[in-house]
């Protein structure tokens, strides 16, 4: 059972990364500036809403609706077919209430889907920018630390031209010594 679920999970991730993301998003080829990287990383680490604040991509809302409608129908069709005989015998008033609930669920889950897509693309852009500005530090291990150092640098009003040096010095000072 675990093999099947991991196969499905890998298949869904591959589908998202290889087909859906390039269809919905247009990514910029230009590198991310250091201050944009630091600001976006800080927002991402703080769990803030990233929509409209991450440079380097454009989301096609129409295409995201098309993909979401296709996914929604792929999930809803099976139960609808299974319960069709029972649903056709229900009172029309109850069916109207169910239609209202499903419409609300559709738009609520679209908002969640859209947030997930934006967070996924933002993380991809952050990691690409990270490789450019901090190639010797792993993003997963040092992103939170850099966000804290960046917040500290903003408090101390470190000039932007000295920001990378300030962050690198603090990262090296905080890095545990291997003996």
HSE of 70, CA atoms in CB hemisphere, 13 A:
7
CA separation, residue 156 to residues 13, 150, 151, 159 (Å):
41, 10, 9, 9
Query: In the structure, what pLDDT confidence band is assigned to residue 92 with cuts at 50, 70 and 90?
Result: confident
pLDDT, tens only, 109-166: 999 999 888 888 888 889 998 998 888 888 888 889 989 988 888 888 888 888 888 8
pLDDT at residue 7, as a whole number: 55
pLDDT at residue 63, as a whole number: 94
pLDDT at residue 110, as a whole number: 92
Sign of CA dihedral 109, 121, 160, 168: positive
Question: What's the predicted TM-score (pTM) here?
Answer: 0.77
Structure token digits, residue 122 = 């933002």
Domain membership flag for residue 22: yes
In degrees and rounded to multiples of 5, residue 39 shows phi and psi of -65, -45
Over residues 1-5, the mean pLDDT reads: 50
Contact 63, 113 (CB under 8 A): no
pLDDT at residue 62, as a whole number: 93
Domain membership flag for residue 49: yes
Domain containing residue 98: 2-27+34-174
CA-to-CA distance for 127 and 140, rounded, in angstroms? 9
Consecutive H or E run containing 27? strand 25-27
pLDDT, tens only, 12-35: 777 778 888 889 998 888 888 888
Structure token digits, residue 68 = 């979401």
Q: Domain count of the chain?
A: 1
CA-to-CA distance for 6 and 57, rounded, in angstroms? 30
Domain membership flag for residue 179: no
Domain membership flag for residue 123: yes
Over residues 167-175, the mean pLDDT reads: 81
Nearest of 110, 147, 111, 112 to residue 126 by alpha carbon? 147
Domain membership flag for residue 13: yes
Percent of the chain with pLDDT over 90: 10
CA separation, residue 45 to residues 15, 35, 38, 140, 145 (Å):
26, 15, 10, 11, 10
pLDDT, tens only, 49-87: 877 777 888 889 999 999 999 988 888 888 888 888 887
């Amino acid at each position: 059972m675990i093999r099947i679920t991991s196969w499905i999970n890998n298949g869904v991730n591959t589908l998202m990364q290889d087909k859906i993301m390039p269809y919905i998003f247009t990514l910029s080829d230009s590198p991310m500036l250091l201050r944009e990287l630091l600001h976006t990383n800080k927002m991402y680490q703080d769990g803030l809403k990233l929509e409209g604040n991450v440079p380097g991509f454009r989301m096609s809302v129409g295409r995201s609706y098309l993909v979401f409608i296709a996914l929604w129908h792929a999930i809803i069709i099976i139960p609808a077919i299974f319960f069709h005989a029972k649903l056709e015998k229900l009172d029309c008033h109850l069916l109207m209430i169910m239609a209202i609930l499903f419409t609300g669920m559709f738009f609520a889950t679209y908002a969640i889907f859209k947030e997930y897509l934006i967070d996924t693309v933002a993380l991809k852009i952050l990691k690409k920018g990270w490789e450019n500005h901090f190639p010797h530090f792993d993003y997963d291990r040092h992103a939170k630390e850099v966000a804290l150092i960046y917040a500290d640098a903003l408090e101390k009003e470190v000039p932007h031209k000295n920001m990378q040096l300030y962050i690198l010095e603090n990262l090296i000072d905080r890095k545990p010594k291997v003996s």
